[in-house]
Amino acid sequence: SGRGYWQELIESIVWAHNKLKVAPAIQPRALSITQGRAVGVAHYLLGGIATTWSFFLARIIAVG
């Protein structure tokens, strides 16, 4: 089918939650373009910060 892996995975998880009545009130919603870009920027910045700190930490451990 033309559907993506992540869409199928999310729908399978939602189906399982609804079937088991774990969280029937929670339904997935699409993000707007602006919200999606904000999430992307946040992930990019947090990933950059985490990567930089892990590099410095590894350097301190190796040298120290």
pLDDT single digits (tens) 6-60: 888 888 988 888 888 777 566 778 889 999 999 999 999 999 999 999 999 999 9
Distance CA(40)–CA(42), nearest Å, equals: 5
Chain position carrying tokens 């602006």? 34
Q: What is the pLDDT of residue 48?
A: 96
What's the pLDDT at 24?
A: 59
pLDDT of residue 19: 86
Are the C-beta atoms of 27 and 14 separated by less than 8 Å? yes
pTM to 2 decimal places: 0.51
Q: What is the pLDDT of residues 11-20, one digit of tens each?
A: 898 888 888 8
Q: Where are the domains of the chain?
A: 1-29, 31-64
3-class DSSP assignment, residue 30: coil
In contact, 25 and 34? CB cutoff 8 Å: no
